Amino acid sequence: MPADPGWLWAELGLAVEVSADVRGEGLDALVGLALRRNPRRAHLLVSRVLGKHLPVAPGAGLAAGADLAALVRALPGFPEDGPGAAHAHDAGEAAAAGEAAAVGEAAAAGHRDGARPGPLVIGYCETATALGHAVADGLAGSHYLHTTRRDLPGVPPVLEFTESHSHASHHWLVPEDPAILRGGEPIVLVDDELSTGRTALGTIRILHAHAPRGRYVVATLVDARPAAARTAFADLAAELGVRIDVVALIAATVTVPPEIADRAASIRARLAGAEPPDRAPASDRAPASDQIPTPAKARPSVPSVPSVPFVQAVQAGHPVRWLTADWPADLPEGGRYGWSPTHRRRLDDALAPVAAAVRAALTRPDGRTLVLGTEELMYTPMRIADTLAATGSGDVRYQSTTRSPVHPVDVEGYAIRAAHTFPAPDDPGRVSHVYNVRPGAYDDIVLIVDSGVDAASPAPVADPAGLVAELRRCAPVAVLTLPAYRPAPRSIEVGLALPEQAR
């Protein structure tokens, strides 16, 4: 089996030249490498700080966002010279120090002090939803919105676009208040990686056609654009008469050989014996799973008041406990419909009692705990995990489930060593995945879901039974349900789709 940690880079023929490194830690500190189950792209840069495919200390994702926010604030002429700028700096310092409870308060303080409106920050689902939140936390007075792939009844999208290379290509922007897309403030787009840059360029085009403004910033962990793609950003800026900046923690040129798909297929064939038993299906149809009774099946809706936790009876595996958060009814669980400085402040107030309830449900509060978000629901679970870490003695890690189909190989130097595939909680008709969660790795797993469902889902509430059946093979599971925020229905607003030639 390969022993060199860089073996996959070499066998795929990927050549990397780092041109800028803000942290000075090297590319390997930010990303690993894996093979995709995606005919459009053979390889995947797997972030070590994002908390998506790999478990991370929860403060790591917040610190990465704080570092990106600092780079945005440092851009020449960026509108951060009001009284809120100092508070944005405080928010970044707090996140970098792992003091998550202070992040939202520091950023919100700038808003209360009368700072002028900050930028609109837009994160790409599903990978960068929490990262975008964390960037917005460090920009005084900013509003945050992330794209979504959920088909939401009564909330028509304002804008939509596609990613041609993605496994799940469609994105919608569904702000509760469409006016936040029509302001003149700068827009900061946040993604975990820039490879070709086409998605960011296409997004800028449709945003500018919807409501022109003078400045756009793209903030990313890894900027891996080739030279031609970098030129395309300058060309679009000249065409639209705007300024477009790109900031990244690390910038590198990654040269991809034309035969990379064949190389990847050869590697998969050679290492077929090292594939873990992930029970992953060949298609996106949901697999059969062990069925266990859940509150979602036993009750027609999730209660709006706290329920008494109870140990769920199971026939095999570790025990499961179901929790319902004492959560403000009008506080969104994330930035799908928009997230303001007031929301940041209110989340800070809600975190401590929720974390205390979670801690009370753990079998070993001082042990190894994984807090697991679900797809787009990343930021609030990350903040809950960070609060657990800050207020207890246990070892807390955070990551999230994902739609992203990745090929697992259990060998040294490969980023994705284990995989579980299951019906998605919000839409059992499709599959979702969680990676690198193994039996014995954790004393407790805390799964955090929201009570919303896709419009096409037949279930009245989110049903995590398939995921729970997988997780309980690994450790005791506590399932925390956050009430899904429901904006008031509104009429359809005519939006824009990304032109086909830009996709």
- pLDDT tens, position by position, 189-227: 999 999 999 999 999 999 999 999 999 999 999 999 999
- pLDDT tens, position by position, 78-119: 876 433 444 444 444 454 455 544 444 444 444 444 456 799
**Measured distance CA(137)–CA(307) in Å, rounded:** 31
The per-residue pLDDT for 41 is: 80
- pLDDT tens, position by position, 273-319: 767 765 444 444 444 433 333 333 332 222 222 332 323 333 458 99
The per-residue pLDDT for 80 is: 61
- pLDDT tens, position by position, 142-193: 999 999 998 777 778 999 887 655 545 688 999 999 999 999 999 999 999 9
Q: In Å, how far are 11, 36, 71, 285, 328 from 40, measured between CA atoms? A: 19, 9, 32, 19, 42
* Range(s) of the chain covered by CATH 3.40.50.2020: 7-255
Q: Does residue 5 have a pLDDT over 70?
A: yes
Q: Does residue 484 have a pLDDT over 80?
A: yes
pTM for this model (two decimals): 0.84
The per-residue pLDDT for 492 is: 55
**Measured distance CA(185)–CA(245) in Å, rounded:** 15
- Chain centroid to CA 177: how far? 22
pLDDT (mean) for 363-390:
98
The per-residue pLDDT for 277 is: 63
Q: What is the CATH number of domain 7-255?
A: 3.40.50.2020
Query: What's the one-letter identity of residue 375?
Result: E
- pLDDT tens, position by position, 48-62: 999 999 999 999 999
Q: Does residue 457 have a pLDDT over 60?
A: no
Mean pLDDT rounded to a whole number for the chain: 83
The per-residue pLDDT for 285 is: 45
SS3 category, 489: coil
Question: Per the structure block, which two tokens stand in for 138?
Answer: 């460090």
Q: Tokens 């130097």: give the residue.
A: 413
DSSP-assigned states of every residue in 127-157:
TTHHHHHHHHHTSTT-EEEE-B----TT---
The per-residue pLDDT for 308 is: 26
Torsion of CA 290, 291, 293, 297, to 10 degrees: 140
SS3 category, 492: coil
